[in-house]
Amino acid sequence: MAWISSLWRRIRGDDGNATIEFVLLFPAFMTLFLTSFELGIFTMRSVLLERALDLNIRSMRLGDLSPATVDELKKRMCNEMIFFPSCTTDLAVDVRVIPTGTWAMPTGKIPCRNRVDGVDPDNLLFSLGDDKAPTLLRACLVMDPFFGTTPFIMKMPRDASGGVTMSAWSAYVAEPS
């Protein structure tokens, strides 16, 4: 009977209450902190991608920039961005003239680079329009998340390499010379 009274005393005791609260609440607070940090980093990187695209489109629209190859355009965009160590290899750029007869816009998702195989998508174009030709420029960048577990929490789509994709697009008409 002594062991029953000892067990009852242990059950009714309040030793260790703070530990139980810590064990229950600490993972929730850390998840909230890591998710908000990851979201802040993702937003900052997305803004940098949009800014790099806008700066280069402005130069192309004004006639200051006429890149001969997609690699030249990617290099100029990556020079405008920071926090992207492998930007030139992970960035996919699609530049195409929009036909004014049909105004047929590309459908579906912006094609992104496959980092597992190390190849760009097949359906990317690089055709700069002349004066008065509407041109659509789309960019897709695959980046590694800052913390590996937060994309699962935020339901971010991941590619086969574990990277998260972000994209930006804009259209312009080159000003006449």
pLDDT at 78: 93
Please identify which residue in the block is written with the tokens 């695209």: 53
pLDDT at 129: 65
Tell me the angle at which helices 70-80 and 17-62 cross, rounded to the nearest 10 degrees: 130
pLDDT range class, residue 62, cuts 50, 70, 90: confident
Write down the pTM of the prediction: 0.80
Judged against a pLDDT cut of 90, whether residue 54 lies above it is answered with: yes
Q: Which of 118, 113, 119, 89 is nearest to 165 (CA)?
A: 113
pLDDT at 83: 78
3-state secondary structure of 98: coil
Q: Which of 84, 87, 79, 77 is nearest to 42 (CA)?
A: 84
Residue 4, φ and ψ in degrees, nearest 5: -70, -45
Q: Of residues 144 and 63, which shows the higher confidence score?
A: 144
Q: How far is CA 155 from the centre of its chain?
A: 13
pLDDT at 153: 62
- What sign for the dihedral angle of Cα 131, 74, 124, 142? negative
Greatest mean pLDDT among 12-16, 21-25, 156-160, 172-176: 21-25
CB neighbour class for 50 (10 Å; exposed up to 12, middle 13-18, buried from 19): middle
CA distance linking residue 29 with residue 162, whole number of Å: 25
Judged against a pLDDT cut of 80, whether residue 74 lies above it is answered with: yes
For the residues 45-56, what does the mean pLDDT come to? 94
For the residues 20-31, what does the mean pLDDT come to? 87
